Amino acid sequence: MGASPELLADVKGRNLHSNPLAGSAPRGEGEDDDRLIAQRLMNSSKDREEHALVVDDLAKRLTPLTTALGFPATPSLKQMATVQHLSTEIEGELSEGIGILDVIDATHPTPAVGGVEREAAVAYIHDAEEIDRGWYTGGVGWVNGAGEGAICIALRCGLIRGSTTHLYAGAGIVADSRPDAELTETRLKLTPLLNVLTRH
């Protein structure tokens, strides 16, 4: 089961769309509080740095696969039930002969789930992380024989085996991250899945 908000790649013909999310904050208690928290998120140097790491890496990896690639200089907000994110919509035109699997091969794992610099970060995660991620942070979606498809990153997901469910969520860690805030963020991301599982 899953509730991933993050689109890694959507390819239709030669049209490419990607929507990286990085940098998060809770939703507010009421409209005014929500607007204030959103503004703080938009102005947060820590969250803007975290977001830029992901967007810049995707742009660097997508450029050799495309004849055109564009995205706004400033992120926007994507708001979910319990959390809101910095969001950038990336649009491009793929080079002839490039399909969805080429895009996934070049871009996954993004810094949001694999770190920067990729090889060193992935090696560190492999050695230091105490859980087996399984399908968590992998790709979920569809592909066809024409090289089209849509793949989301498997975030905020759960693996159900009989009467036991393991839920997965995480947070991007940068130099200015605070452990208590990252733990709160992860709990907020898990809340919608927990609500489904505990509904009577």
Does the domain formed by 7-193 have CATH 3.60.120.10? yes
> For residue range 4-35, what is the model confidence (pLDDT) as tens digits?
899 999 999 999 999 999 999 999 999 999 99
The vertex-136 CA angle with 131 and 141, nearest 5°, equals 165
Q: How far apart are the first and last CA of the chain?
A: 18
Instruction: For residue 147, give the nearest of 102, 108, 92 by alpha carbon.
Output: 102
For residue range 28-67, list pLDDT tens digits in order. Answer: 999 999 999 999 999 999 999 999 999 999 999 999 999 9
CA dist 128 and 117 (Å) reads 16
The rounded distance, in Å, linking the Cα atoms of 147 and 132 is: 30
How far is Cα 9 from Cα 150, in angstroms, rounded to an integer?
6
The residues spanned by each domain of the chain are: 7-193
Determine the average pLDDT of the residues in 126-148: 93
Q: Nearest Cα to 103, choosing from 3, 15, 2? A: 15
Q: Strand pairing partners for 79?
A: 84
